[in-house]
């Protein structure tokens, strides 16, 4: 086990070649960004991005709304592809891809430009234009990235929906976005089984009058119904597509994408990211955090349905001119050596995955990674939740062979890019800590009133100043945006995470302070699962909390009150698990269901989830219970065990 107070300094050989080498270099960057933010970000924007028209000023801050690079015109698709074509990168591999069955592709920047231009031409020919909205519901195939980049090229606002989401979840997003276009596939492969995406998309599109076109990629070759007039095979459209489709010059604040994430109410929040500031910070963090070099093969194992896939599989790596690897399938198929075999096969240099995956692979034993040559690795990363020290130590020792720095990254869907992480050639790592903030990020740990906490005291993590890649609003709901992020401490961004800062200034993220669970890196609101449960005809009421889980970080534990009648609770428990998986997705399936005649409530009728968390975690209750309506409810719940 690692010593929690130990700092793992950057290896000397790594630090000597790093993009940011040594603490003095980090501190100089950080101080400049803090003291002269306009000059700092302005210089980077001019150097790192292509502009059709330069901005008038760097940012306008009217809390809680911000604009970056005001008046400038650019295009993220152009920055990810076209500008690389005038030099040696044109023949460099942009996307390395492996499908779960073992098929593979290597797509150069020049070829990617051709694919994106052709698909953008197809969309343009169908009448889709800047400001329109598209839903992308696809497996992890290169065409998913092509679809994103084609939308960005034309200024079509896109929302990528994770292929594991159910048709109901997909429909909610189509309706909220009022999408005119759905881009999907017949299916994809996961653990040897076909995930039938077109079937789910068809179900979702019923009752969605805004959808005019559905483009379907042939991936699995399955027979799928095609609705005449609405549905089009990708390959049929591509057959007559023009390769001449210039990128549209778009305002720096043009909406790029909306990504739906769980909130503390049942309705998912549509987080809006815009173009220029997002592009700059995604590209810069590739260089700062991942120490990206021209010859690197970089692999982020996320799905493009999550923000990690947007920022660190597609937009960040391609804007930085990287070779980004995509893999379609599961880490344990056909066996637990799949990740390590891919690293060996493609000589991966930078590997970025989740603590959930690390813990799951750790449990299978060292023999799986030890059977493969992992010597190409020079940097490891983790994302989605804090990595526990035992998993960090295994990752460092077994995967990195003690020579690869680990970047434990803290950020959110809302932040757009990594905000807290070690620059690996400058900042020493502490297992379990995100370490220090990126340049331009001013985080603090505060109390309820916004007063700073001292060293090693827990509080709320806030960010004091706007940054380029931050969310701009919630789609169609600016009031909810203000309420969710800016009302707790007026004028200050409230992250919703608890944290502490140690005497070295290192940040330790402690988890959510609101009713949001983190299951395998997926943010999931308690309300979303509760809403699904009470839609079942047998359920009267439900309360959901997260409980610690050694593999997934947190697991879903549900407390359910049933409607009157005779119920076989063992059978119903199984049925309800499946019900939630159908309504939301398999990752939301409750691990534990406890049935109860009543739930602990305040006298005003609010369910006291804090007490349920105590029961799940400690089988006892602590803290103030004076507002509790009926103490007997707690006693009975504590005595119960999982049903079904």
Are 79 and 100 contacting, i.e. CB atoms less than 8 angstroms apart? Answer: no
The candidate with the shortest Cα–Cα distance to 124, out of 242, 227, 254, is 242
Q: Are 290 and 407 in contact (CB under 8 A)?
A: yes
Domain boundary among 225, 251, 277: 251
Q: Is the pLDDT of residue 356 over 60?
A: yes
Query: CA angle, 243 as apex, 237 and 249 as ends, to 5°?
Result: 105
Q: Regarding predicted confidence, which is higher, 62 or 498?
A: 62
- Residue 534 is part of a domain; what is its CATH number? 3.30.300.30
Predicted confidence at residue 166, as pLDDT, reads 87
Q: Please name the residues in contact with 74: beta carbons below 8 A apart, sequence gap of 6 or more.
A: 49, 50, 51, 52, 249, 250, 252, 275, 276, 279
pLDDT at 621 over 70: no
Residue whose C-alpha is closest to residue 176's, from 482, 525, 476? 476
Q: CA-CA distance, 382 to 391, in Å (whole number)?
A: 11
Q: Which of 352, 167, 183 is nearest to 257 (CA)?
A: 183
Report yes or no on 218 lying in a domain. Answer: yes
Does residue 281 lie in a domain region? no
Domain closes at, from 204, 226, 251:
251
**Residue 576 domain-assigned?**
yes
**339/98 Cα distance (integer angstroms):** 11
Which residues face 258 on adjacent strands?
272
Q: Which of 360, 311, 381, 331 lies closest to 519 in space, CA to CA?
A: 360
What φ, ψ does residue 337 adopt, rounded to 5°? -95, 0
Domain housing 585: 519-639
Contacts of 600 (CB under 8 A, 6+ apart): 607, 608, 611, 612, 628, 629, 630, 633, 634, 637
Domain count, the chain: 2
- In the DSSP assignment, the letter for residue 388 is P
- Whether residue 531 is predicted with pLDDT greater than 90 in this model: the reply is no
pLDDT, average across residues 288-305: 97
Q: What is the pTM of this model?
A: 0.86
**Percentage of the residues of the chain whose pLDDT score is greater than 70:** 94
Q: Which of 190 and 601 is assigned the larger pLDDT?
A: 190
Query: For the segment 204-213, what is each residue's pLDDT rounded down to a tens digit?
Result: 999 999 999 9
- Considering 251, 268, 298, which residue would you say is the last residue of a domain? 251
Using pLDDT thresholds of 50, 70 and 90, give the confidence band for residue 642. very low
Identify the CA nearest to 443 among candidates 400, 398, 412: 412
Instruction: Tell me the pLDDT band of 2, cut-offs 50, 70 and 90.
Output: very low
Q: What pLDDT digit, counting tens, does each position of 382-393 carry?
A: 998 778 788 899
pLDDT given for residue 475 in this prediction: 97
484 within a domain of the structure (yes/no): no
CATH number at residue 229: 3.40.50.980
Q: How far apart are CA 174 and CA 324, in angstroms?
A: 29
For residue 597, what pLDDT is reported? 83
pLDDT at 643: 44
Position 479 in a domain: no
66: CB partners within 8 A, 6+ apart: 59, 60, 466, 470, 472
Residue 398 included in any domain: no
83: closest CA among 48, 37, 134? 48
Comparing 233-242, 461-470, 486-495, 562-571, the range with the smallest average pLDDT is 562-571
In a domain, 589, yes or no: yes
Do residues 509 and 461 lie in contact, with contact meaning Cβ atoms separated by under 8 Å? yes
What is the pLDDT, as a whole number, of residue 299?
98
pLDDT (0 to 100) of residue 3: 41
pLDDT digit string, tens, across residues 211-229:
999 999 999 999 999 999 9
- pLDDT-derived band of residue 618, with 50, 70 and 90 as boundaries? confident
CA dist 445 → 287, 454, 495 (Å): 27, 8, 11
**Do the domain assignments include residue 330?**
no
């Amino acid at each position: 086990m690692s010593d929690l107070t130990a700092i793992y300094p950057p290896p000397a050989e790594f630090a000597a070649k790093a993009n940011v080498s040594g603490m003095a270099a980090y501190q100089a960057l950080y101080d400049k960004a803090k003291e002269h933010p306009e000059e700092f970000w302005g210089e980077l924007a001019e150097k790192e991005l292509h502009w059709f028209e330069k901005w008038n000023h760097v940012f306008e801050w009217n809390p809680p709304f911000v604009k970056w690079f005001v008046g400038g015109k650019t295009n993220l698709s152009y920055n990810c592809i076209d500008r690389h074509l005038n030099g040696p990168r044109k023949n460099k591999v942009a996307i390395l891809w492996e499908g779960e069955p073992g098929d593979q592709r290597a797509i150069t920047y020049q070829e990617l430009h051709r694919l994106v231009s052709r698909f953008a031409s197809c969309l343009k020919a169908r009448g889709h234009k800047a400001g329109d909205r598209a839903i992308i519901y696809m497996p992890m195939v290169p065409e998913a990235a092509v679809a994103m980049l084609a939308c960005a090229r034309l200024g079509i606002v896109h929302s990528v929906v994770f292929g594991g989401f159910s048709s109901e979840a997909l429909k909610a997003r189509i309706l909220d976005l009022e999408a005119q276009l759905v881009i999907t596939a017949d299916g994809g492969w996961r653990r040897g089984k076909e995930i039938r995406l077109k079937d789910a998309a068809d179900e979702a599109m019923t009752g969605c009058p805004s959808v005019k076109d559905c483009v379907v990629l042939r991936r699995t070759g399955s027979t799928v119904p095609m609705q005449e007039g609405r549905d089009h095979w990708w390959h049929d459209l591509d057959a007559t597509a023009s390769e001449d489709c210039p990128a549209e010059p778009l305002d720096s604040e043009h909406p790029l994408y909306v990504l739906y994430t769980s909130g503390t109410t049942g309705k998912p929040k549509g987080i809006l990211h815009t173009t220029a500031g997002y592009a700059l910070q995604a590209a810069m963090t590739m260089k700062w955090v991942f120490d990206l070099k021209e010859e690197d093969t970089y692999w982020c194992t996320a799905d493009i349905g999550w923000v990690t896939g947007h920022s660190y599989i597609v937009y960040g790596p391609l804007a930085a001119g990287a070779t980004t690897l995509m893999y379609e399938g599961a880490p344990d198929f056909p066996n637990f050596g799949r990740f390590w075999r891919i690293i060996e096969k493609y000589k991966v240099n930078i590997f970025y995955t989740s603590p959930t995956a690390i813990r799951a692979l750790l449990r299978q034993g060292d023999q799986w990674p030890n059977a493969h040559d992992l010597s190409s690795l020079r940097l490891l990363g983790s994302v989605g939740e804090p990595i526990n020290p035992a998993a960090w130590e295994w990752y460092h020792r077994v995967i990195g062979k003690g020579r690869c720095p680990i970047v434990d990254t803290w950020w959110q869907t809302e932040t757009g890019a990594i905000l807290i992480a070690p620059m690996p050639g400058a900042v020493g790592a502490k297992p379990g800590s995100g370490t220090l903030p990126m340049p331009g990020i001013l985080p603090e740990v505060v109390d309820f009133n916004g007063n700073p906490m001292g060293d090693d005291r827990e509080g709320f993590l806030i960010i004091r100043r706007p940054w380029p890649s931050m969310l701009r609003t919630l789609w169609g709901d600016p009031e909810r945006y203000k309420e969710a992020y800016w009302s707790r401490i007026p004028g200050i961004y409230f992250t919703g995470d608890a944290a502490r800062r140690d005497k070295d200034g290192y940040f330790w993220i402690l988890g959510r302070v609101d009713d949001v669970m983190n299951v395998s890196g997926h943010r999931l609101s308690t309300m979303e699962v509760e809403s699904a449960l009470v839609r079942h005809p047998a359920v009267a009421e439900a309360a959901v909390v997260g409980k610690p889980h050694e593999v997934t970080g947190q697991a879903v534990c549900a407390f359910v009150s049933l409607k009157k009648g005779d119920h076989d609770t063992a059978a119903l428990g199984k049925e309800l698990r499946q019900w939630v998986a159908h309504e939301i997705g398999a990752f939301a399936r409750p691990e534990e269901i406890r049935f109860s005649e009543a739930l602990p409530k305040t006298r005003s009728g609010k369910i006291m989830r804090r007490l349920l968390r105590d029961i799940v975690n400690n089988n006892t209750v602590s803290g103030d219970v004076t507002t509790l309506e009926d103490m007997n409810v707690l006693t009975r719940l504590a005595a119960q065990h999982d049903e079904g």
